[in-house]
């Protein structure tokens, strides 16, 4: 087995060296559509073929993977995501913290929250959970995501199930026109800002905070050793090229108020580290 793994690793390295990126990108897209391959093989090969992009431009690497439903995106399917039994424990904890924070702010979230935006909503399964169980009086529930395949499948599932949720395929870097003069009571951005480099992440947080009426709920990757709030600058996680940010600083420098937060270092639940920031907009 180790010998087979070594051969596979060396062949991927050789292919990256001799085959131009443009060809490898097409090949990665092709492999990701081969349903006869196991999910692990599809993800492994398609991501590895373009892995060098992560060193040159991590932002573009993540955008390429997600917008083509490659790699991790493979597990974002209706049967694996919708339904209470499929909601990750880390997200249950996030929503429990969120409702605690809202209650402490004396907000009766079941009645008072009327609008929600989920940035990086994928199929819309978190929005559906919120619509059914948490913000039961919400009239407007919007989701945006760069993964067109997830948006299309999620939208038809939601429509067939009588949901009010509207999904739009959009890059979070281009939210300005979509947001225009809209205000949302709650903006959720879970596991998504980690795909933007520091400056772009700051820009996104600014944009989201400006359109938040009640609370911005944002999660990042927890810095394993020191609390993220102590980071002078964002770091790249070597394993997957995603970013570890100081979201506390980003919110504070915009005049936002952090009303609740969670940082649990190396601890993981369902493969997710725990770094949550709950912020209200500047007064
Ligand atoms: C790790 S998943 C998290 C999904 C969901 N928010 C959750 O917490 O379960 C990250 C999501 O962000 C989306 N995403 C990544 N880059 C994006 C971008 N530039 N614009 C919009 N969505 C993006 C992906 O398509 C994916 O659905």
Q: Mind giving me the DSSP string for 148-159?
A: HHHHHHHHHHHH
Give all strands (DSSP E) within 134-256, no chain letters: 140-145, 166-169, 184-189, 212-220, 235-237, 242-244
What DSSP character marks residue 232? S
**pLDDT tier for residue 189 given thresholds of 50, 70 and 90:** very high
Atom of ligand 1 nearest to the CA of 67: 25
Residue 280 Cβ inside 6 Å of ligand 1? The answer reads no
pLDDT score at 1: 63
- The domain total for the chain is 2
**20, 47, 74 — which closes off a domain?**
74
From residue 114, give the alpha-carbon distance in Å to each of 13, 184, 185, 220. Answer: 51, 8, 7, 25
Q: Are residues 61 and 128 in the same domain?
A: no
- Please tell me whether residues 266 and 133 are part of one structural domain: yes
Ligand 1 centroid to Cα of residue 253, in Å, is 25
Quote the pLDDT of residue 268.
Answer: 94
Tens digit of each residue's pLDDT (9 = 90 or more) over 32-46: 888 888 888 888 888
Please check whether residues 94 and 69 belong to one and the same domain: no
Residues 116 and 195 in one domain: yes
CB of 221 shorter than 6 A to ligand 1: no
Contacts of 53 (CB under 8 A, 6+ apart): 21, 60, 61, 64
* In contact, 104 and 145? CB cutoff 8 Å: no
pTM of the entire structure? Answer: 0.94
Percent of the chain having pLDDT more than 90? 80
Closest C-alpha among 148, 247, 260, 238 to residue 205: 247
| 137 neighbors 113 (Cβ within 8 angstroms) | yes
Check whether residue 50 and residue 107 sit in a common domain. no
User: Is residue 197 located within the same domain as residue 259?
Assistant: yes
- 146 CA to middle of ligand 1, Å? 7
Domain with 36 in it: 2-74
Same domain, 127 and 207: yes
Same-domain check for residues 144 and 275: yes
Structure-model confidence comparison of residues 117 and 17, the more confident one: 117
At residue 262, what are phi and psi to the nearest 5 degrees? -145, 130
């Amino acid at each position: 087995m180790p010998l087979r793994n070594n051969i596979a690793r060396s062949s991927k390295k050789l292919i990256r060296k001799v085959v131009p990126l443009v060809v490898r990108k097409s090949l990665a897209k092709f492999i990701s559509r081969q349903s006869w391959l196991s999910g692990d093989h599809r993800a492994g090969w398609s991501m590895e073929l373009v892995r060098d992009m992560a060193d040159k431009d991590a932002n573009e690497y993540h955008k390429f993977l997600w917008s083509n439903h490659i790699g991790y995106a493979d597990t974002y399917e209706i049967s694996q995501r919708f339904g209470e039994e499929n909601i990750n424990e880390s997200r249950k904890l996030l929503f429990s913290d969120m409702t605690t924070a809202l209650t402490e702010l004396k907000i009766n979230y079941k009645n008072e929250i009327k609008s929600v935006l989920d940035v990086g909503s994928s199929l819309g399964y978190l929005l559906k959970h919120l619509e059914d169980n948490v913000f039961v009086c919400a009239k407007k529930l919007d989701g945006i995501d760069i993964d067109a395949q997830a948006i299309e499948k999620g939208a038809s599932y939601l429509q067939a199930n009588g949901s009010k949720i509207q999904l739009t395929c959009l890059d979070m870097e281009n939210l300005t026109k979509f947001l225009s003069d809209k205000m949302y009571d709650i903006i959720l951005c879970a596991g998504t800002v980690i795909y933007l480099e520091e400056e772009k992440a700051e820009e996104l947080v600014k944009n989201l905070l400006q359109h938040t009426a009640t609370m911005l709920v944002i999660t990042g990757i927890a810095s394993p050793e020191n609390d993220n709030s102590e980071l002078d600058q964002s770091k790249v996680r070597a394993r997957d090229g995603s970013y570890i940010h100081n979201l506390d600083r980003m919110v504070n420098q915009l005049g936002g108020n952090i009303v609740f937060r969670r940082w649990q270092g190396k601890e993981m639940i369902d493969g997710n580290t725990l770094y949550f920031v709950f912020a209200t907009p500047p007064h």
